[in-house]
Chains A and B, each alone.
Chain A
């Protein structure tokens, strides 16, 4: 009786109530960084199977990234009236750049044999991995802050 609980003033309708964006976004993070690891292994072994792993990981990361982006955009539109702790644009722009470079990387990785990975493919895999970590960091941090509010 002595305790007063804070009451929320935001109507529940505008709140994100599902973790789908985060779940889907886990795939590009895991797949794109995984592709870098398999690229490095290919660089060291010249064993084609590692390059094949890479291109499947990149393709899978692209597919799941597109799905994550769609859900993320839908969430953003649904929550557009809501006050935010931080601007979401760095996350969006970083994601767009990551996806564009990953698509480019999928084409490079579809070349045949050594030059599908070395040097352009593995450089792109490294850049995409950095972007995947950065955008995931900013995305999950954004969400964590909103949770904490």
Chain B
């Protein structure tokens, strides 16, 4: 009798969350003014992760005028990409730190999310790929750097190669054409890392004049459930002085900023942000935004401007009042992790001036969202229309995931490179 009651209650909870958790038409939320449903809280938040299956002989589906092929395969958790001035491609393969368990929930969520990830352990290394003849197949493949600490961002300034490990920005001497770095690195600045380190990817970009580095530091929790103290120096972008290593807050309230890039038209810093979970399948939209110096974007106190999140205590009406609106909603739970403005020549001319976004894909939503690369049109330096699907097919007709896009880069020829951390492939998209 007791067990029957418990079972029926659990079933009721599952049905309850299942019924309301699928989510509406995601494309309706694209743009500067997404409709936001009212906030819901669940007994069991909606969860659905695509089951991983191999690509086999399949490849992603690309928009008309493009073709795609595997640039390289067999990586150890390839998550971000960087193209050096001589055309060499760096594939960053972090391990990703494990998070200490604070609650029974952490064990379950870890299991569920792990289900959607590659079983290949990260290499904590950076692989260099050289395709000198430009045929889309690298002739040379070496490990440029290893024994790193969950690296993600890379930036080259002159002869200094900066690697953003999860706990520090490290500088290495680099000579053009070098295929292996043996010199020990020098720490430019430590970054907020463990022991919790929830959002651990540190996106990195150098200012055009090379004097500053910008580094994204994600929050230590979904919504402060690890305590306020854990959020010190989190959910922000630091501006780091390259000469001294000194840093200051460039922008704050950004829950998990990635894909730091310069808008080629305006010279502004842009980023893609992963917003909070567990308040509905259509809340909160992840976004693409210009990063205004000194601005506060709301996390954790509010979302999309002044929508107060009741899960945060103490409340801070003063901070909510300060929160600015992001520029462009990518729709909810798409998990954008890569951003690349396109100025190249290989893809159809219509794509020039816009931005590609790599969407890792949802877990906190009944209907899958993301799991693709989209392109956002820009006019006058601002997004000017609905994002269009450019590279899809990462999820098959049966809702299984063949791959999950993460970091993006544009190679020397203008081809779009996509890191797929589920299949451990780097895809290369060119004009047809």
Residues of A with Cβ closer than 8 Å to B? 46-49, 52, 55-56, 59, 66, 69, 73, 92, 95-96, 99-100, 103-104, 106-108, 110-116, 118
Inside 8 A of B147's CB, which chain A residues have their CB?
Answer: none
Q: A113-B225, A113-B311, A114-B312 are in contact. List 13 more A-B contacts (CB 8 A).
A: A46-B313, A47-B227, A73-B2, A92-B1, A99-B5, A99-B6, A100-B6, A103-B6, A108-B43, A113-B223, A113-B312, A114-B313, A115-B310
Instruction: Indicate if B36 sits at the interface (CB-CB under 8 A).
Output: no
A48→B225 contact, CB < 8 A: yes
How many whole Å from B420's CB to the nearest CB in chain A? 30
B103→A107 contact, CB < 8 A: no
Say whether, besides A111-B311, A115-B310, A59 and B2 are in contact (CB < 8 Å): no
Inside 8 A of B43's CB, which chain A residues have their CB?
Answer: 104, 107-108
Instruction: Indicate if B41 sits at the interface (CB-CB under 8 A).
Output: yes
Q: How far is the CA of A118 from the CA of B102 in the complex (A)?
A: 19
How many whole Å from A115's CB to the nearest CB in chain B? 5
Inside 8 A of A111's CB, which chain B residues have their CB?
Answer: 41-42, 278, 311
Inside 8 A of A96's CB, which chain B residues have their CB?
Answer: 1-2, 5
How many whole Å from B311's CB to the nearest CB in chain A? 4
How many whole Å from B308's CB to the nearest CB in chain A? 12
Inside 8 A of A100's CB, which chain B residues have their CB?
Answer: 5-6, 9
A107→B44 contact, CB < 8 A: yes
A52→B2 contact, CB < 8 A: no
Nearest neighbor of B105 in chain A, beta-carbon distance = A110
Inside 8 A of A66's CB, which chain B residues have their CB?
Answer: 2-3
Instruction: Indicate if B104 sits at the interface (CB-CB under 8 A).
Output: yes
B221→A112 contact, CB < 8 A: yes
A113→B224 contact, CB < 8 A: yes
Inside 8 A of B103's CB, which chain A residues have their CB?
Answer: 52, 55-56, 110
Q: How far is the CA of A46 from the CA of B313 in the complex (A)?
A: 6
Query: What would 25 A/B residue contacts be, using CB atoms closer than 8 Å?
Result: A46-B314, A48-B102, A48-B224, A49-B227, A55-B105, A56-B103, A69-B2, A73-B2, A92-B1, A96-B2, A96-B5, A99-B2, A99-B5, A100-B9, A106-B104, A107-B44, A111-B41, A111-B311, A112-B311, A113-B223, A113-B224, A114-B310, A114-B312, A115-B310, A116-B311
Q: Pick the residue among B13, B44, B102 that contacts A52 (CB under 8 A).
A: B102
Q: Pick the residue among B5, B9, B44, B225 that contacts A116 (CB under 8 A).
A: B225
Instruction: Indicate if B226 sits at the interface (CB-CB under 8 A).
Output: yes
Q: How far is the CA of A12 from the CA of B97 in the complex (A)?
A: 59
List B1-45 residues whose CB lies under 8 Å from chain A: 1-3, 5-6, 9-10, 13, 41-44
Lowest 6 A-B CB distances belong to which pairs? Answer: A112-B225, A114-B313, A48-B227, A107-B43, A113-B311, A110-B105
Q: How far is the CA of A56 from the CA of B103 in the complex (A)?
A: 7
How many whole Å from B211's CB to the nearest CB in chain A? 39
Instruction: Indicate if B222 sits at the interface (CB-CB under 8 A).
Output: yes
How many whole Å from B14's CB to the nearest CB in chain A? 10
Inside 8 A of A99's CB, which chain B residues have their CB?
Answer: 2, 5-6
Say whether, besides A48-B225, A48-B226, A113 and B13 are in contact (CB < 8 Å): no
Q: How far is the CA of A116 from the CA of B347 in the complex (A)?
A: 49
Inside 8 A of A106's CB, which chain B residues have their CB?
Answer: 104
A103→B1 contact, CB < 8 A: no
A114→B102 contact, CB < 8 A: no
Inside 8 A of B105's CB, which chain A residues have their CB?
Answer: 55, 110
Inside 8 A of B225's CB, which chain A residues have their CB?
Answer: 48, 112-113, 116
Q: How far is the CA of A73 from the CA of B102 in the complex (A)?
A: 34
Q: How far is the CA of A99 from the CA of B2 in the complex (A)?
A: 8
A112→B222 contact, CB < 8 A: yes
Q: How far is the CA of A106 from the CA of B312 in the complex (A)?
A: 20
Q: How far is the CA of A110 from the CA of B43 in the complex (A)?
A: 8
- Which residue, B10, B105, B312, has most C-beta atoms of chain A within 10 A? B105
How many whole Å from B7's CB to the nearest CB in chain A? 10
Inside 8 A of A59's CB, which chain B residues have their CB?
Answer: 104
Inside 8 A of B312's CB, which chain A residues have their CB?
Answer: 113-114
Q: How far is the CA of A115 from the CA of B224 in the complex (A)?
A: 11
- Which residue, A96, A110, A116, has most C-beta atoms of chain B within 10 A? A110
Inside 8 A of B5's CB, which chain A residues have their CB?
Answer: 96, 99-100
Inside 8 A of A55's CB, which chain B residues have their CB?
Answer: 103-105
Q: How far is the CA of A48 from the CA of B106 in the complex (A)?
A: 14
Inside 8 A of A118's CB, which chain B residues have their CB?
Answer: 313
Nearest neighbor of A101 in chain B, beta-carbon distance = B9
Q: How far is the CA of A69 from the CA of B10 in the complex (A)?
A: 18
List B308-326 residues whose CB lies under 8 Å from chain A: 310-314
Inside 8 A of B221's CB, which chain A residues have their CB?
Answer: 112-113
Q: How far is the CA of A46 from the CA of B225 in the complex (A)?
A: 10
Nearest neighbor of B309 in chain A, beta-carbon distance = A113
Q: How far is the CA of A108 from the CA of B17 in the complex (A)?
A: 13
Q: How far is the CA of A114 from the CA of B223 in the complex (A)?
A: 10
Say whether, besides A96-B1, A115-B41, A110 and B104 are in contact (CB < 8 Å): yes
How many whole Å from A23's CB to the nearest CB in chain B? 18
Q: How far is the CA of A107 from the CA of B6 in the complex (A)?
A: 12
How many whole Å from A114's CB to the nearest CB in chain B? 4
How many whole Å from A71's CB to the nearest CB in chain B? 12
Q: How far is the CA of A73 from the CA of B3 in the complex (A)?
A: 11
A107→B13 contact, CB < 8 A: yes
